[in-house]
């Protein structure tokens, strides 16, 4: 197949695919390779992988205390206590809370079901929340529209407002609480296979990302300078 005769530097229809600018990729084609290939045929560069934002346990408590509305606070506390995605938290039904077996039944991505542990602290807080606010069935966190769960964007806004009120500089999102759940469990000694099942990851490599942000392991590792024992005087 012969190569097209023009190089179109349009990125329409492919937003957010890469941080590589269309002009740079077009220049690489026409100048470096001496080819007039269209932009659509040029490969995109890989996005750099960034470590997830993780709060300390003290910061998590400060954050949750700053959430104004009880339903929002309980939804965010549930996200941290169970490691659920925000899309999973908002769709938790009252019947999904199995207090007899201390489990929460979750319907995750692709309608894949899994179970996670039910914190005794969370259970006590949820019972108080239900007794005082009496959310109508079936949703644990009902929305404004009757018969509908709370919208995930509502939880995201509450999260943003609480971060500001708590004076936290880190970018706290509902998904960051999921990162905190995973990292804090690993630091407490939970094995990575168990964590994979709790998070609902299909690939172990996805869960392995959290091994890079374990504070306990990082701080327990000595710097090579500590092995030398001193810094030469100036």
Catalytic residue set: 85, 109, 175, 178, 201, 210
Residues 6+ apart with CB under 8 A from 87: 152
Residues 6+ apart with CB under 8 A from 101: none
**Helices marked H in the chain:** 22-27, 57-65, 70-82, 86-89, 120-133, 152-166, 174-187, 192-199, 204-208, 215-220, 224-228
Q: How far apart are CA 65 and CA 156, in angstroms?
A: 16
Q: How far apart are CA 36 and CA 22, in angstroms?
A: 14
Helix (H) or strand (E) holding 103: strand 103-107
Whether cis (ω within 30° of 0) applies to the bond prior to 49 is no
DSSP lists the bridge partners of residue 113 as: 107
In the chain the first and final C-alpha atoms are separated, in Å, by 66
Q: Which long-range contacts (CB under 8 A, 24 or more apart) does 166-172 make?
A: 166/59, 166/62, 166/63, 166/65, 166/66, 168/55, 168/59, 168/62, 168/63, 170/53, 170/55, 170/59, 171/53, 172/53, 172/55, 172/63
């Amino acid at each position: 197949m012969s190569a097209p005769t023009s190089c179109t530097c349009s990125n329409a229809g492919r937003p957010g695919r890469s941080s590589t600018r269309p002009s740079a990729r077009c220049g690489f084609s026409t100048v470096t390779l001496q080819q007039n290939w269209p932009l659509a045929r040029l490969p995109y560069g890989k996005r750099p992988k960034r470590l997830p934002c993780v709060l300390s346990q003290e910061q998590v408590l400060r954050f949750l205390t700053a959430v104004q509305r009880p339903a929002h606070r309980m939804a965010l506390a549930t996200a941290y206590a169970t490691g659920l995605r925000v899309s999973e938290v908002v769709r938790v039904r009252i019947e999904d809370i199995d207090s007899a077996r201390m489990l929460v039944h979750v319907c995750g991505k692709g309608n894949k079901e899994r179970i996670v542990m039910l914190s005794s602290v969370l259970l006590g807080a949820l019972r108080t929340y239900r007794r005082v606010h009496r959310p109508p069935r079936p949703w644990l966190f009902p929305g404004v529209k009757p018969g509908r769960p709370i919208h995930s964007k509502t939880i995201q806004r509450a999260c943003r407002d609480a971060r500001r009120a708590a004076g936290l500089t880190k970018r706290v999102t509902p998904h960051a609480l999921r990162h905190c759940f995973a990292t804090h469990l690993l630091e407490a000694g939970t094995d990575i296979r168990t964590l994979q099942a709790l998070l609902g990851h299909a690939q172990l490599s996805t869960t392995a990302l959290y091994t890079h942000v374990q504070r306990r392991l990082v701080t327990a590792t000595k710097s090579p300078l500590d092995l030398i024992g001193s810094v030469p005087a100036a």
